[in-house]
Structure 1
Amino acid sequence: MTIRLGLQIPNFSYGTGVGELFPTVIAQAQEAEAAGFDSVFVMDHFYQLPMLGSPDQPMLEAYTALGGLATATQKVQLGTMVTGNTYRNPTLLAKAITTLDVMSQGRAILGMGTGWFELEHDQLGFDFGTFTDRFNRLDESLQIVLPMLKGERPTFTGKYYRTVEAMANPRFRDHIPLLIGGSGEKKTIPLAAQHFDHLNVIAGFNELPRKVEVVREACEKIDRDPATLETTMLVTAFVDDKATSDLIPAEMGQRMVAGSAESVAEQLKAKVFDAGIGGVIVNLPTMVTGYVPGVIAALGAALNSAISA
């Protein structure tokens, strides 16, 4: 798995009727694929997030949507940014991701995280607990999911989950790339070094050099080559020739860029790639403008040019 340039679709509010909603999702994924993006992600949420809109705005279930995209694309890798572990029994998650890998002919990425949106948990009946509870759940889940992805049949008894010779068939590959999001230096980064292929660093631009160093240290501590743990950063981009940094809320100044496609690409090269992060995953919020064909293509062309220069 290599992610140099990914697109995350952060919302489904396009100003269209429901009948045009998923065709608009497909159009974005196909435009990204044609523009040289190597991966397309959706969020694993059931309600829209507070920073993007009200909870009742449209939100598609992630793995159902990814299955649809698998049949509408040919090359891009597909995954969640990232799966909330609290929402699915690990055996169900193993079944969902192996099915997506079969449907996409080996293009699935398994993104995993602890889960964090408390409102969803409360209203939909998922146990939330403390961060430690959620992290321990994730640890148990990995002990079930990872063997199942390899074709093994784990029997496991833990505090949160139990299985008896659990299996997931059919499988397209013996290894589906694993991605985790976060930047915690005590838990998340060491966990990434131990089990994952890819770390999506959730941090500000100004924190990236430090996080790159922590990743290196965590890998070397367990005798892993740091180059084998790929990294990306998720960045929100307002791509418009008239857009300026004045549009960026102060609290998002370290995770958001604005400007023309060329300006955004230059900023991302300087702030992300030059800081030692290997790739960037961008989202382009469309709540106000709707989906505007051509913007993803323009950004893809500018980014590919900038990072290959």
Structure 2
Amino acid sequence: MRISIWPGAGQPYADVLEAARHASETGWHGVWIADHFMPNDGTGTDPLHPVLEAGSLVAAIGAAVPRVRVGTLVYGNTYRHPAVVANMAATVDHITRGRFTLGVGAGWQINEHEQYGIDLPPIGKRIDRFVEALLVIKGLLRSGRTTVDGEHYRVTDAVCEPKPLQDPLPIMIGAKGEQRMLRVVAEHADMWNTWGRPDLIAHKSGVLDRHCASAGRNPTEIIRTAQALTVVDGDLPPHPSMPVMGGSRRQLQADLAAYEAAGVDELIIPDGLLGSGAAKFKAMDTLRSLVRD
């Protein structure tokens, strides 16, 4: 099982870069950046807390940090036209010399859409729109010219040059919905990502396998990635709003083994509960020492 770091974009760029460089120097697989513009409402975070933009961050990290893969976790489809996303992805793949993973999802955070006047359709329409966006993105990244005449997106004999260095550049879809979104993963994704503890990941991975069977696709073609809030040598939050793992070193080791047993190919570690500065690097080193790859 590979292990990657997710530096929160709500910290100074220098801290994000330090975490990415430490990951590169100590054998981590990748660095992931979430696509948000502000804290989510209701999280208890200052609504004016600064958040760095994901597309700029992955380009900067890719240029400054060697070896590790770099990816978006995940671009919200509602924020950018898919043709723009395809061009951004191809450029970052050149900046990283072929180390970029394009993570995409349907979009969800309400306050960002309200504040910026961006349309957030009901979930069914949002998924319809996302599927059309995938056709645009995959076409532009993997074909010479692309035409999509959809309800939501229309591109005509469109080009995206230069193409990515990777052929194909991997596309990861963030999804948890079992009826539609995991079917979209089965039909379109090279990688899949979701939050969850090992038992939930194993369950949803089984659902994905069944969608792959219906789509006539080998489920082993899709790389499985997951994340949970992570505590190293400390107390777990008393009332976590998201899945959490670790605490004691023994429990952390057991949790890591459980993710691997659940079929997770890559475990992504948010850095929010790892501390800062030297404490964060110590926690990262402990995690790295406990994972076989």
> Counterpart in 1 of 2:268?
281
Measure, in 2, the Cα distance between the counterparts of 1:136 and 1:295. 44
2:239 is the counterpart of 1:249: yes
Q: 1:155 Cα deviation (Å)?
A: 2.0
1:63 maps to a residue whose letter is G
1:69 maps to a residue whose letter is I
Measure, in 1, the Cα distance between the counterparts of 2:44 and 2:222. 30
Q: Let me know the Cα RMSD of the aligned residues.
A: 2.1
Give yes or no for contact 1:154–1:163 (8 Å, CA) kept in 2.
yes
Give yes or no for contact 1:44–1:80 (8 Å, CA) kept in 2.
yes
- Choose the corresponding residue for 2:68, options 71, 76, 93: 76
Give yes or no for contact 1:262–1:299 (8 Å, CA) kept in 2.
no
> 1:167-212 CA distances to partner (integer Å, 9 max, x unpaired)?
1112223311010112211111111111111111334433223212
Identity across matched positions, percent: 27
- Choose the corresponding residue for 2:5, options 7, 12, 26: 7
Q: 1:228 Cα deviation (Å)?
A: 1.2
TM-score (norm. length: structure 1)? 0.87
Q: 1:289 Cα deviation (Å)?
A: 4.5
> Counterpart in 2 of 1:42?
33
Measure, in 2, the Cα distance between the counterparts of 1:300 and 1:75. 19
Matches within 5 A, 1:1-309: 4-13=2-11, 21-50=12-41, 51=43, 53-171=45-163, 172-239=165-232, 241=233, 243-245=234-236, 247-252=237-242, 255-260=243-248, 263-270=251-258, 272-285=259-272, 289-292=275-278, 293-304=280-291, 307=292
1:42 maps to a residue whose letter is I
> 1:78-104 CA distances to partner (integer Å, 9 max, x unpaired)?
111101000000110001100000100
Measure, in 1, the Cα distance between the counterparts of 2:250 and 2:23. 16
Q: 1:251 Cα deviation (Å)?
A: 4.4
Give yes or no for contact 2:245–2:255 (8 Å, CA) kept in 1.
yes
Measure, in 2, the Cα distance between the counterparts of 1:52 and 1:127. 25
Question: Cα–Cα, structure 1 residues 100 and 262, in superposed 2: closer, same or farther, change >3 Å?
Answer: farther
> 1:253-272 CA distances to partner (integer Å, 9 max, x unpaired)?
xx1023255642432222x1
Q: Report the count of equivalent residues.
A: 290
> 1:16-49 CA distances to partner (integer Å, 9 max, x unpaired)?
xxxxx22221110011122221111111011123
TM-score (norm. length: structure 2)? 0.91
1:106 maps to a residue whose letter is G
2:220 maps to a residue whose letter is A
Measure, in 1, the Cα distance between the counterparts of 2:142 and 2:247. 44
Give yes or no for contact 1:28–1:296 (8 Å, CA) kept in 2.
no
Measure, in 1, the Cα distance between the counterparts of 2:260 and 2:44. 26
Q: 1:166 Cα deviation (Å)?
A: 1.8
1:166 maps to a residue whose letter is A
> 1:143-183 CA distances to partner (integer Å, 9 max, x unpaired)?
11101101422122222211122211122233110101122
> 1:209-234 CA distances to partner (integer Å, 9 max, x unpaired)?
32122122111222322111111111
Give yes or no for contact 2:76–2:106 (8 Å, CA) kept in 1.
yes
Measure, in 1, the Cα distance between the counterparts of 2:177 and 2:114. 25
